[in-house]
Amino acid sequence: MAKNQNIVHQYFKKNHEGLLILVKVNPIHYTGTEITIEAGQQPQIRDLQFDEDIFEDLKADAFEECSPLEFNLYLSGLA
């Protein structure tokens, strides 16, 4: 079975000083992807490993939930 099969990922975003930061979190394995977008620059995409406090950390850093569609449009370069 594939590692991400049957897992509902959670998505978050934050606008901060001209940056758009989008985060996808696998809530089972605490892995994910971060996209950082600055106007006029190429998006920076990083695979990340989180700990079990990731959701509290995102809330403390003022991230809000976003849709999987929004995240994937930026990931694919269509947004």
Using one digit for the tens of pLDDT, what is the confidence trace for 3-31?
547 889 999 999 988 899 999 999 999 99
Walk across the sheet containing 44-49 and list its strands: 44-49, 31-38, 19-26, 10-16, 64-65
Q: pTM (2 decimals)?
A: 0.88
- CA distances, 61 to each of 19, 28, 30, 53 (Å): 14, 21, 18, 12
Band (39; pLDDT cuts 50, 70, 90)? confident
**Mean pLDDT on 25-54:** 95
pLDDT band at 1, cuts 50/70/90?
Answer: very low
CA distance 17 to 60: 17
Helices and strands per DSSP (H, E), number in the chain: 2, 5
CB 39 within 8 A of CB 17: no
